[in-house]
Structure 1
Amino acid sequence: MSVNDLSAVLWRERELLELLTFKLEEEQLLLTAGRSRWVSHASREVEQVLDRLRSTGLERAAQSAEVAEEWGVAADAPLREVVAAAPNGPWGEILTAHLTAMVELTTQIGALRDENDRFLRAAALATEETLAGTVSGAATYDASGTSGSGSDGARLFDGSL
């Protein structure tokens, strides 16, 4: 039964969206705690979940096309149209619940992604400013032919940056 298969794929996709939400929150916690050492690991995990979501999305599209044809809808119709064409019975409610949950999760994921992006930009800017403070300005030559470079003294770095 292809509607059952579509519902199973939608469940898997919802679980992956929830996992992605968790991974993005995990990444955000690392960023806010200043644990930059682990951010690359968290980002890699986010990418792995995104890869799994892409393949599940392809599977969903195939199942959705099959169900759409059964219900007299164009095979390339979006999931929302397929759900709207569901015959009377439990499948309409089940698929609507899937769609609603997926829209909510997608909204949460977008907000988390935007927040994490702001944190990453702020961290990159702080790093650039710190590094810019360690490099002396552009040296120019004076009338005697020597450059006006700054002192070559020792510099201290905060290892947690």
Structure 2
Amino acid sequence: MGTTAVNGEATDLSARLWDERALLGDLVTAAADIDRTRHLLGRLRELHLERDVLVHALAERWGTDPDTATLRSLEGVAPPPWDLILPEHLAALTALVAEVDTLLPPGPLRDAWDRISPRAP
């Protein structure tokens, strides 16, 4: 596959990560609103599926095992400029996940969060 296709997939992954960052920021501000939090958690689950497909495809192209690929494993094999972009996304995601983690109280929403939380992107 050519460089254009790889850059397209990497750009798509970056866009999904921006979406995830925005959604996690929304979760921080909506943690007390049960209906909104439920909706945001559903969208987060969808984003994770989209992200996983892109991670798998990029892992194969960037020379790492697609079956065990994670954002962290891509970080180590990403070509420029993605070797700089992915660590920035990972740092922001890690901080946002930690913030949401502290805000959700025990209960059904917390259980849903625990099932889909990207604690180790």
> TM-score normalised by the shorter chain: which range applies?
0.7 to 0.9
Residue 79 of structure 1 aligns with which residue?
A: 71
1:117 Cα deviation (Å)?
A: 3.7
Aligned-pair CA distance for 1:71: 0.3
Bigger RCO (CA 8 Å, 6+ sep): 2
Q: Does 1:11 align with 2:18?
A: yes
Runs of 4+ in structure 1 over 2 Å off: none
Larger Rg: 1
* Identical positions, percent: 37
Pairing 1:12-161 to 2, within 5 Å after superposition: 12-24=19-31, 27=32, 42-76=33-67, 77-87=69-79, 89-113=80-104, 116-117=105-106
Alignment partners' CA distance in 2, 1:9 and 1:83: 16
Q: Which amino acid aligns with 1:55?
A: E
Between structures 1 and 2, the one with greater helix share = 2
CA RMSD of aligned residues (A): 1.4
Q: Which runs of 5+ in 1 are unaligned?
A: 28-41, 119-161
Aligned residue identity for 1:81: S
Instruction: Give the gaps of 5 or more residues in structure 2.
Output: 1-7, 108-121
> Normalising by the residue count of structure 2, what TM-score does the alignment of the two structures yield?
0.77
Aligned length: 99
Give secondary structure in 1 for the equivalent of 2:65.
coil
TM-score after normalising by structure 1: 0.59
